[in-house]
Structure 1
Amino acid sequence: MTVLVTGGAGYIGSHMVWSLIDAGEAVVVLDNLSTGFHWALARKARFYEGDIADKLLLRTIFAENEVDAIIHFAGSVVVPESVANPLSYYENNTVKSQALIAAAVEAEVRYFVFSSTAAVYGTQDGSARVDETAPLRPESPYGTSKLMTEMMLRDASRAYNFTYTALRYFNVAGADPRGRTGQSTVGATHLIKVATETALGKRGSIEVYGTDYPTHDGTCVRDFIHVSDLTVAHLMALRRMREGGGSIVANCGYGRGFSVLEVLNCVRTVSGYDFKVRYSGRRIGDAVSIVCNPAVALNELGWIPKYDSLEFIVRTALSWEEQLNLRSIEGGREDHLADRNLGNV
């Protein structure tokens, strides 16, 4: 059987495609390349360029490939942007996901893994780690758009022969330890991506939004997960459903939080470079602190994280930025970069 990966040329999606290929799966990718890169794809993956809401294209994909599962990454992911332009987020993340789910049901695709987010929780009361039973109170249209898609999946699973797994990511960072792909989006807003770019001189400074939060150093606290560990969680979710497991929602994080300033200090240490930090006020939509309870992923999916180290996450992110520098110097070659084994911590 074949797995369809939407958004498979993007940051997390390209890692997922490589992980599926490594696991011996046949893979089809659907991506409109608005933020993804064709060169990031594993060569063995079959590629279709287009939109996830294109019904005719989806019917073609399902007719030409024996798709039994979809792993859905395609969508918009920037919290401040969602606050400024909410309707585009509901269009990209909710309306188009509805079209994809409907096409999957029509084609009798049985299994669906959804790229959700911890943003569905918002700021939680107290200092306990967040589990899947926590109140759902997103603070941005991004989080709400993802939660609405989860609700559609829940209802579809009750009405049809359709099983889903919604994985609520915490803060995804790092790059493939073999150097095959990484976060390559120009102008990306992910903290570790921006910090590594700043450390390597690609940006003149990095901005910290808010230093008066009720945390130990006044900056927001997040749970960071290495992208390669995240893709393994998807593989485990897919295996569980194929073996008869029912629909489930699971957090994906390590259960440890780091503040913005702690992350910046880690980037300084690993890179060996200091860099300029500018401080400004809080941003609308940023939760104060959110740390994962990963018990469901550990126990139900059988997920075993391998790269639970902020230092390793930063090291792989830095290595990828250096490869992007090389790609830029060499004129943006479209061939795949050679594997580079970075080792473990």
Structure 2
Amino acid sequence: MEHVLVTGGAGYIGAHACKALKAAGYVPVAFDNLSTGWRDAVKFGPLHEGNLLDRASLDAAFAAYKPVAVMHFAALSLVGESMKDPGKYWRENVTGAANLADAAVAAGCLDFVFSSTCATYGDQDGVVLDEDTAQLPINAYGSSKLAIEQLLADFEAAHGLRSVIFRYFNVAGSDPEAEVGEQHVPETHLIPLMLDAIAGKRDALTIYGTDYNTPDGTCVRDYVHVSDLVDAHVKGLKWLKDGKASRVFCLGSGDGFSVREVVEASRAVTNRPVPVVEGGRRAGDAAVLVSGSRRAVEELGWEPKRSDISTMIADAWRWHQSEPYER
């Protein structure tokens, strides 16, 4: 069976991608330094402990498994932290990606699926973002991801490294069987923070900013179910294996939900109150970020099956009530 190297394969999205790759007939190799990932999440193929800043560990993984493709999820992704320490984000994300691309080219592994972000677009209110929207990032996280997209174009021109790039916003939910799920230390994502508050694991959910130019004053974001997201990544891999040209795809619902709307949906799904406190805005947060996915639907044949807000919260809640990962 053919191997696929999955960077960040012990993380939330990476672990789901490994499950989807196994179902598609591949052997996923989780390449992870376990700084934020979880050993317990590696259930669908081998774990290769390594660091993207250590070229030797990358070369060892390519030599050991001879992967036919790379799925690159590993990245630092905290917007606020990126504003305070941009050097860390450029070093970890951009240098790490350059090392990975170099190692892939050296190994003759020329199919690359990259998990980018719609944060590359910056704050463009009132626009449904698509693949042709101008990219104007407003934080170092988005800037680092945009740099990687440009890096991949350069590697294709020089070395023939073809890529499929996915841009998307918030990811939520868990696989329906709740085999893997979302757990971060510290936790920063809205839905798991909210479910922690509902379950009594924290005092309350803090809403950061209630004075945005939105209908209820809170930020509006697009959401996609993690199972739908990784299904698109597997379809992106097939796109490359079919010999098609490098392509960018946005993944989103085309509709956004405000923080308050997500809170109300969670109250309805769990039938429990959601303790909430209001805080100030966070640096680097845009007011409204919504993405379309017309190209992915039409060209990849992508069909988001679980990306309604109630299903995402219900699946996340099911995982949240299970035993958490342990170091």
The DSSP-based 3-state class of the residue aligned with 2:101 is helix
Instruction: Note the 1:332-343 alignment, pairs <5 A.
Output: 332=326
Deviation at 1:55, TM superposition (A): 1.7
* Counterpart position of 2:28: 27
Cα deviation, residue 53, structure 1: 2.6
How far has the Cα of 1:308 moved from its partner?
2.4
Q: C-alpha separation between the residues in 2 aligned to 1:133 and 1:259?
A: 25
Asked if the contact 1:170–1:251 (Cα under 8 Å) also holds between the matched residues in 2, the reply is no
Structure 1 CA distance for aligned equivalents of residues 160 and 119 of structure 2: 29
Q: Which runs of 5+ in 2 are unaligned?
A: none
Indicate the larger mover: 105-114 or 59-68.
59-68
Instruction: Give the paired residue count.
Output: 326
2:26 corresponds to 1:54 = no
Quote the Cα distance in structure 2 between the aligned partners of 1:169 and 1:94: 19
Return the offset for 1:186: 2.6
Partner of 1:198: 197
Q: Note the 1:162-311 alignment, pairs <5 A.
A: 162-311=161-310
Distance 2:157 2:303 in 1: 30
Match status 1:117 vs 2:147: no
- 1:39 equivalent in alignment to 2:40: yes
Report Cα offsets for 1:218-243 as digits up to 9, x if no partner: 11101100000000000000001100
Match for residue 8 of structure 1? Answer: 9
Give, in whole Å, the separation in 2 of the partners of 1:19 and 1:160: 29
Which shows bigger deviation, 15-24 or 58-67? 58-67
- Measured in 2, the distance between the counterparts of 1:66 and 1:94 equals 24
1:187 CA displacement: 2.1
Query: Would you say the 8 A contact 2:111–2:163 is kept in 1?
Result: yes
Alignment of 1:120-139 (within 5 A): 120-125=120-125, 127-139=126-138
Q: Residue deviations 1:173-221, cap 9 Å, x none?
A: 1111111000021321111111111111111011111111111111110
User: Helix, strand or coil for the counterpart of 2:321?
Assistant: helix
- The residue that corresponds to 2:83 in the other structure is 83
Tell me the equivalent position of 1:340: none
Asked if the contact 1:18/1:41 (under 8 Å) is kept, the reply is no
Deviations 1:240-290 (A, max 9, x none): 110011111111111111001000111111111113211122111101101
Consecutive aligned runs of 4 or more in structure 1 exceeding 6 Å deviation: none
Aligned equivalents of 1:190 and 1:218: distance in 2?
19
Structure 1 residues 283-305: Cα deviation after superposition (integer angstroms, max 9, x where no partner):
11101101111011112222111
Please say if residues 53 and 92 of structure 2, whose CA atoms lie closer than 8 Å, have aligned partners that are also in contact. Answer: no
Structure 1: which 5+ runs fail to align?
Answer: 335-345
8 A contact 2:173–2:315 mirrored in 1? yes
Q: After superposition, give the CA deviation of every residue in 1:101-129 in whole Å (9 maximum; x if it has no partner).
A: 1111111111001110010011114x231
Indicate the RMSD between aligned Cα atoms, in angstroms: 1.3
The answer for the alignment partner of 1:341 in structure 2 is: none
**C-alpha deviation, 1:321, in angstroms:** 0.9
Contact 2:68 2:109 in 1 (8 A): yes
Q: 1:72: which partner in 2?
A: 72
- Report the TM-score when normalising by structure 1: 0.92
Code of the aligned partner of 2:64: E
Letter in 2 for 1:38: R
Normalised by the length of structure 2, the TM-score is: 0.97
Secondary structure at the aligned position of 1:104 is classed as helix
Counting aligned pairs with the same residue, the percent is 42
